[in-house]
A and B are shown apart, each in its own frame.
Chain A
Amino acid sequence: MSILSVRNVTKAFSVPGGSFTAVDDVSFEIEEGESVAIVGQSGSGKTTVARMIVGLETPTSGQILFRGSWRKARGGAKARREKARQVQMVFQDPYLSLDRRMSVQAILSSSISLFEQLSKKDIAERTRELLLEVGLEEHHAPMSPTQLSGGQRQRVAIARALAARPDVLVLDEAVSALDVSVQAQVLNLLSDIRETRGTTYLFITHDLAVVNQICDRTIVMAEGKIMETGPTEKILTDPDSDYTRGLRDALPRPGWVPKRRLAT
């Protein structure tokens, strides 16, 4: 059974003078332990798919299943907590996804205490473990996010998502706000986590370099629809659709050099 199934999901937003279909009848499956990317330009509907999967948006029609059971979008705090154990999310902007007024320690321990009934001492211990797991050090704990670099903040955000011990991690442009060298470090960290925890990843990105580095399979979206889907290597080297080819050629990045250039 797939860990995550998206079945005929459509999302329409009402806008002045009508409605706008952001996601149009999209279906796909993600298997346990896979690392899948949804790529597309801005406005392709990829972020809306991610927000529906985690439960920040309600699909207009269609269903999202986790191990075969329906993930209803609405629900009280307790239902959301249960769903967080299934799927958690890392947001794009590490400057805005952490409460700027809280210390790293406070952010992590408050998340941990939501998911595990632990004593104060054990929570502090778990916080330390999480910090070390994401490559931070103990002296970062009392700091405010405003005192950390972008990469460090994103590590805190990942640690916070891991506090729920989720089976699936949705990463919405999670490295695109970072410098290229920092991007590589964070992606390496994510690879390590995947190896130790066996977490399933869903990357939402416009950046094919990221896809190339960490994803087994890629789904290409445009204008709310899936254009094509297949193993990452095939999508990057020999895509079926012209759209994907255009996307690939339009976004050259260090670490991934278009083949055509090599030929000249």
Chain B
Amino acid sequence: MTAVVAAPNNPVAIFGRFSPVVVVSVLIIVVFTTAAILAPWIATHNPNEPDLLNTQSAPTGTNWLGTDNLGRDLFSRMVHGARSTIFGPVLVITVATTLGVSIAMVAAWCGGIVDQIIARFIDVMFSVPTIIVALIVVMLTGAGLTGVVIGLSIAYVPYYARLIRSAAMKERSLPYVDALWLEGRSGLWIVCRHIIPNISPLILTQSIASLGLAIIDITALSFLGLGVQSPDSDWGVMVRNGIDGLLSGRPYESLFAGLAIVLFAGSVNVLGNHLSRRFEV
């Protein structure tokens, strides 16, 4: 047999061929994320230092994107704000995935009454809008990024748990699981070493799809003043902060921050759609 079988770890075999739109989206994600990681080295100014003689400036050679109502450099604030705007949602998704997958596995593996209780509970959680869950948690913890991240993490759990539970139930009913059980493998081993790896494409796809939502939710909460607190920046905070300028005909802060959110969330969504088509979930 001379035909070359695609190795399972070949990226094209896993992720499929990228269309131009997907390539652009991945580029945007990579560039924004790199900027967030390298923020201190990329920023041209101290993001929190006001310059009251140079407020509401339009983009210039020194202030590439202009300045805000306190004269702070918008480019530097954008780059620093990228950190909480990007890594906040990543943290939310990581926590929500871990919790959601654990709950789903307990439900799918134990079955019976345990599964029934978890399923009902998920249904009830599901009917409450994520923002409301997040608001309740923020009220308990006080405004700030921590509360928002905890709140959204909890709010996203039912989305994962519901989807992963049904996939795990299907996987658990396959005879290879029976075979492993008969050999004397423990339930924990089978779940962690076989069931989770086998549904990992679904978990990955769901995570990326929810990442798009998390970016929108986290910036919305920051916009409302419940997330990242002044003087730190965040793209949602910047859209809010720029409204004054916008009303007087200088829309730069809201415009750039809003554009960044839409571009980033949109790119993540495009990638998520591509992956879900790829894995047919």
B186 cross-chain contacts in A, Cβ below 8 A = 76-77
B178 & A56 in contact (Cβ 8 Å cutoff): yes
Q: Does A111 contact B (CB under 8 A)?
A: yes
User: In whole Å, how far is B187's beta carbon from the nearest beta carbon of chain A?
Assistant: 8
The reply to whether A144 and B183 contact each other, CB–CB distance below 8 Å, is no
A146 closest partner in B (C-beta): B8
Of A56, A91, A164, which is within 8 A of B183 by CB? A164
Binds B, one of A81-89, A246-254, A255-263: A81-89
Q: Are B176 and A98 in contact (CB under 8 A)?
A: yes
Question: B128 within 8 Å of A by Cβ?
Answer: no
B184 touches A101 (CB 8 A): no
> Is B53 part of the binding interface, using a Cβ–Cβ cutoff of 8 Å?
no
Q: Are B183 and A147 touching (Cβ within 8 A)?
A: no
Q: Are A80 and B197 in contact (CB under 8 A)?
A: no
- Which secondary structure dominates where chain B touches chain A? helix
Which listed residue (B175, B189, B194) contacts A91, Cβ 8 A? B175
- Enumerate chain B residues within 8 angstroms of A55, measured Cβ to Cβ: 182
Whether B178 and A91, one on each chain, are in contact in the complex, defined by CB atoms closer than 8 angstroms, is: yes
Interface residue? B179 (CB, 8 A): yes
Question: CA A184 – CA B26 in complex, angstroms?
Answer: 53
Given A100-B198, A147-B5, are A84 and B183 also a contact pair (CB < 8 Å)?
A: yes
The yes or no answer to B174 lying at the interface (CB within 8 A) is: yes
Q: Which residues of chain B are within 8 angstroms of A54 by Cβ–Cβ distance?
A: 182
A56 and B182 contacting across the interface, CB-CB below 8 Å: yes
Q: Is the CB of B8 within 8 A of A144?
A: yes
Residues of chain B contacted by A78 (CB below 8 angstroms): 184
Q: What total count of A-B pairs have CB within 8 Å? A: 60
Q: Which of A164-198 contact B (CB under 8 A)?
A: 164
Give A193-211 as 1s and 0s: 1 = Cβ < 8 Å from B's Cβ atoms. Answer: 0000000000000000000
Cross-chain contact A84 with B182 (CB below 8 angstroms): yes
Task: Determine the residue in chain B with the shortest Cβ distance to A144.
Answer: B8
Q: Which residues of A contact B185 (CB under 8 A)?
A: 77, 114
Q: Which residue of A lies closest to B185 (CB)?
A: A77
Option from A80, A96, A147 in Cβ contact (under 8 Å) with B184: A80
- B121 contacts partner chain A, Cβ-Cβ < 8 Å: no
Q: Does B181 interact with chain A (Cβ within 8 Å)?
A: yes
Chain B residues contacting A24 (CB-CB under 8 Å) are: none
The number of residues on chain A lying at the interface, defined by a beta carbon within 8 Å of a beta carbon of chain B, is 30
What is the bound-complex CA distance between A205 and B75, given in angstroms? 73
Contacts of A83 in B (CB 8 A): 182, 184
Q: Is the CB of B183 within 8 A of A97?
A: no
Q: Which of A68-121 contact B (CB under 8 A)?
A: 76-84, 88-89, 91-93, 96-101, 111, 114
Query: Which residues of A in the span 26-75 have a Cβ within 8 Å of any Cβ on B?
Result: 54-56
Known: A101-B197, A101-B198. A81 touches B179 (CB 8 A): no
> Is the pair B182, A99 in contact by a Cβ cutoff of 8 Å?
no
Q: Is A217 on the interface with B (CB-CB < 8 A)?
A: no
Please indicate the chain B residues that have their CB under 8 angstroms from the CB of A84 in the complex: 182-184
Chain A residues with Cβ below 8 Å from B182 are: 54-56, 80, 83-84, 88-89
Whether A111 contacts B175 in the complex (CB less than 8 A), given A99-B194, A100-B198, A144-B8, comes out as no
Residues of A within 8 A of B194 (CB): 99, 101
B198 contacts across to A, CB distance below 8 A: 99-101
* CA of A77 to CA of B6, assembled, Å: 37
Question: Measured between alpha carbons, how far is A77 from B181 in the docked complex, in Å?
Answer: 8
Q: Which residues of A contact B189 (CB under 8 A)?
A: 77
Contact with A along B191-214 (1 / 0, CB 8 A): 000100110000000000000000
Interface residues of A (CB under 8 A from B): 54-56, 76-84, 88-89, 91-93, 96-101, 111, 114, 144, 147, 157, 160, 164
Please name 4 further chain A to chain B contacts, defined as beta carbons within 8 Å, in addition to the given A77-B189, A89-B179, sorted by A numbering: A55-B182, A88-B182, A99-B176, A99-B180
Q: Closest 3 CB pairs between A and B?
A: A81-B184, A80-B184, A91-B175
A-B contact pairs, 9 of them (CB 8 A): A54-B182, A55-B182, A56-B181, A77-B185, A80-B181, A84-B182, A84-B183, A91-B178, A157-B179
